[in-house]
């Protein structure tokens, strides 16, 4: 068997392994994330002749944006994020907000480190939902400091703009977004100059 055929077989095996892991209930997303990261980082997907943005939907069954999100979450948060998200639905933002309570596949609940496993699912769900409610309440509570409130809102706006995938935008949308950013920068610079006077 020639080298090229061996590469195709290995690639097929890895894709199949990823699909199989997707069916496994325990730790499935963490395993899938590892495989997807390996496929992208090694460049092995190129042996199909497809670019990454076509390989993802045609061979993996997910959009490139979704696959990249899975890999990004794995790179930022590791297995623990996926283990927790299999117990309770949690966004990367919410995970980041409660990350100080998470360490080595455990979550701190009422001062106790609780293993992030299905046996503790009910307790973990209740704790995460309580943390979410507390965060939401803190967001809704009017800030006594208008500067801090403005800073928070600006931070959210910038984060939202960063999440927009420029590669997925059509050229007219890219131009609109760039124009909005440049206009906002000019307005903010005017405010900054007034404050400096």
Domain count, the chain: 3
Is residue 19 pLDDT above 60, yes or no?
A: no
**Which neighbouring-strand residues pair with 121?**
none
Burial 168-192 (b: 16+ CB within 10 A, else e): eeeeeeeeeeeeeeeeeeeeeeeee
Q: Domain check: are 75 and 108 in the same one?
A: no
Same structural domain for residues 18 and 83?
yes
- Asked if 134 and 164 sit in the same domain, the reply is no
Express each pLDDT in 122-176 by its tens digit.
999 999 999 888 888 877 766 577 887 788 888 888 888 887 766 677 888 888 8
Contact 53, 64 (CB under 8 A): yes
Q: Is 78 found in the same domain as 2?
A: yes
Verify that 26 and 93 share a domain, yes or no.
Answer: no
**Whole-model pTM over 0.85:** no
Greatest Cα pair distance in the chain: 75
**One domain for residues 13 and 71:** yes
What local confidence, expressed as pLDDT, does residue 26 receive? 40
Strand 106-109: give its sheet, edge to edge.
102-103, 106-109, 112-115
User: How does pLDDT run across 23-48, given as a tens digit for each residue?
Assistant: 444 447 888 899 899 999 999 889 88
Which domain does 32 fall in, by range? 1-87
Average pLDDT, the chain: 83
């Amino acid at each position: 068997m020639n080298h090229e055929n061996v590469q195709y077989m290995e690639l097929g095996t890895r894709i199949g392994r990823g699909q199989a892991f997707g069916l496994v209930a325990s730790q499935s997303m963490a395993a899938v994330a590892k495989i997807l990261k390996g496929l992208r980082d090694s460049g092995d997907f190129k042996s199909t002749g497809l670019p990454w943005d076509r390989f993802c939907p045609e061979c993996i069954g997910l959009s490139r944006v979704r696959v990249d999100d899975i890999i990004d979450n794995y790179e930022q948060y590791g297995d623990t994020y996926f283990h927790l998200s299999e117990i309770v639905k949690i966004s990367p933002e919410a995970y980041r907000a409660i990350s100080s309570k998470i360490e080595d596949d455990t979550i701190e609940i009422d001062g106790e480190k609780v293993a992030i496993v299905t046996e503790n699912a009910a307790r973990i769900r209740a704790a995460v939902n309580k943390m979410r409610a507390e965060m939401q309440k803190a967001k809704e509570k009017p800030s006594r400091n208008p500067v801090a409130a403005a800073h928070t809102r600006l931070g959210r706006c910038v984060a939202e703009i960063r999440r927009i995938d420029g590669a997925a935008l059509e050229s007219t949308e890219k131009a609109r977004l760039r124009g909005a950013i440049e206009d906002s920068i000019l307005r903010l610079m005017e405010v900054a100059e007034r404050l400096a006077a």
